[in-house]
Structure 1
Amino acid sequence: MSLRYAVLTLLDIEPGSGYDLKRRFERSVSHFWSASHQQMYRELHKLHQEGLLDCVEQPQEGKPDKKLYSLTDKGCAELRHWVTQPTAPQKIREPFLVRMFAGHHLDRDDLRSALNSQLQLHREVLRHYQEQNEKVLNSDAALQKRYWLAHRTLLLGIEAEKTWITWLENLSEELE
């Protein structure tokens, strides 16, 4: 996958400015895909140049004009085509796992500390995902229906964090 399709997907949900898009990205896709602010804006410009996005400038008082992006018919067609293509499972790229693979170099206290730190991080992510889930469950029924698949990605994230937490807790118990 590329940032291209994340941008198209987010603008398919709702047109918006680069700032709007970045905020939406941070609240959703960033949990499983990363991109910097600069990468996002470069991709917006590129997609616009390719005719996949429309851009309308809205004047703002005392600020530069706001550029609002939306999908063109060509952009919708490309997104539909991409969604139909098979996706190979990705390998996990997790630095902590590499550290644990070399964990025999750690003494007991350092290992305990590393496990506890990682456990706290995953508990925080889980808490954040659960808060997002509550917002979804308390949102308008029509909105829930439209984005039920997007919600399922959040539920997968919750399960993944629970798995991490269980794994880390088990390692900690084995260490003791």
Structure 2
Amino acid sequence: MSVPYTLLGLIEETARHGYDLKQSYDRRFGDAKPIRFSQIYRALAQLVRDGQAEIVGVEPGAGPDRKRYAITREGVADLDRWLAEPEDPQPQLQNVLFTKVVLALISGRSAEEFLDAQRERHMSRMRELTKIRREATETHTELLADYQLFHIEADLRWIDHAAVRLASLAAEVRQ
């Protein structure tokens, strides 16, 4: 999962302090991929440096000042590109797919379009692997292709399942 893009999606929803971002992240994605405060602040510094986020307020706190972060136009454009871009099929991709679906729903973008594009990317990779498997002359090549095909099949089942449940997921994540 890409932490910077996840944070961009969360600050696009509303400007937030690092602490608020951590709470929102944990509530939505923490079960799948825990994150430390240091990762959040390191990613925020990188996003500000790269012009994708900006500090829109500073408030005194008990410790260091609390900075409120918001997404910039450049950040929105980059997030749009990332959310629209299907991922190459690979093991452990589910966390990224889930994150993209949730962030698309939070932002009002089309999660269905993303899932359709992702399905097509998976089907294309499946065709490539099937050809490799058919032409394989060694068992290890066949088994590796089988392994990847089985993961892609599982992802495709999840994509179809998620597509059916988008309305109920949208209601949950927009709370």
TM-score in terms of structure 1 length: 0.50
Which residue pairs with 2:30 in the alignment?
A: 30
**Is the partner of 1:31 in helix, strand or coil?**
coil
- How far residue 58 of structure 1 moved from its aligned partner, in angstroms, is 2.4
- How far residue 62 of structure 1 moved from its aligned partner, in angstroms, is 5.6
The answer on whether the counterparts of 2:13 and 2:106 sit within 8 Å (CA) in structure 1 is: no
Which residue pairs with 2:60 in the alignment?
A: 60
- Greater RCO (CA < 8 Å, at least 6 residues apart): 2
Which residue pairs with 1:13 in the alignment?
A: 13
Amino acid at match of 1:28: R
Amino acid at match of 2:84: T
Deviations 1:111-146 (A, max 9, x none): xxxxxxxxxxxxxxxxxxxxxxxxxxxxxxxx9995
Amino acid at match of 2:169: R
Deviations 1:63-90 (A, max 9, x none): 5322000000000000000011112253
Deviations 1:138-172 (A, max 9, x none): xxxxx9995995962898xxxxxxxxxxxxxxxxx
Which residue pairs with 2:169 in the alignment?
A: 152
Which residue pairs with 1:91 in the alignment?
A: 92
Amino acid at match of 1:38: S
Taking the aligned partners of 1:33 and 1:150, their CA distance within structure 2 comes to 24
User: Looking at CA atoms only, which structure, 1 or 2, has the larger radius of gyration?
Assistant: 1
Q: Cα gap change, 1:26/1:151 in structure 2, threshold over 3 Å: closer, same or farther?
A: farther
Residues 1-176 of structure 1 aligned to structure 2 (within 5 Å): 1-60=1-60, 63-87=63-87, 88-91=89-92, 152=169
Identity of aligned residues (%): 29
- How far residue 43 of structure 1 moved from its aligned partner, in angstroms, is 0.3
Give unpaired runs (5+ residues) of structure 1. Answer: 94-142, 156-176
Taking the aligned partners of 1:61 and 1:6, their CA distance within structure 2 comes to 25
- How far residue 2 of structure 1 moved from its aligned partner, in angstroms, is 1.4
The answer on whether the counterparts of 2:106 and 2:170 sit within 8 Å (CA) in structure 1 is: no
- How far residue 16 of structure 1 moved from its aligned partner, in angstroms, is 0.4
Amino acid at match of 2:91: Q
Taking the aligned partners of 1:31 and 1:49, their CA distance within structure 2 comes to 29
Q: Cα gap change, 1:66/1:150 in structure 2, threshold over 3 Å: closer, same or farther?
A: farther
**Is the partner of 2:43 in helix, strand or coil?**
helix
Deviations 1:22-57 (A, max 9, x none): 010111122323321111110000111000001033
